[in-house]
Amino acid sequence: MPKIYEYFGIVLQFHSNDHEPIHFHAKYGNSKVKVSFFIEDGIIFRTTYKEEFGKFPPAKLKELKKFVSIYKYNILDAWYNWFILRKKPVCVRIDKKV
């Protein structure tokens, strides 16, 4: 499961043999949220957040949503590189609040 970002304790990663819609998994401690992008004509028109395991802390979920709103197209590029081009992403650690 390649990691794509680390943001103040939140780890964003892909599962190796995942499926559409395009999505990633965000982990914080023992909690996990699946973040899915719905795309039409190359534009993300909706983003959903579904808790998969544990209770994601509300303050961290708010930070994640803010992060995703800024980095969503970078995440899509990483998805394309991993699933289409088969290039392993380099994990980027973000140490500044967005």
pLDDT for res 51: 94
Burial 6-20 (b: 16+ CB within 10 A, else e): ebeebbbbbeeebee
Place of tokens 């043999």: 17
Residue 1 clears pLDDT 80, i.e. is over it: no
Give 93's pLDDT tier (boundaries 50, 70, 90).
very high
Name the band, by pLDDT with cuts 50, 70 and 90, for residue 16.
confident
Q: pTM score, two decimals? A: 0.91
- Structural tokens at position 22: 């395009």
Please tell me the predicted confidence (pLDDT) of residue 78: 94
Instruction: Using the predicted structure, report yes or no on whether residue 26 has a pLDDT greater than 90.
Output: yes
Where does residue 59 rank: exposed (0-12), middle (13-18), buried (19+ CB within 10 A)?
exposed
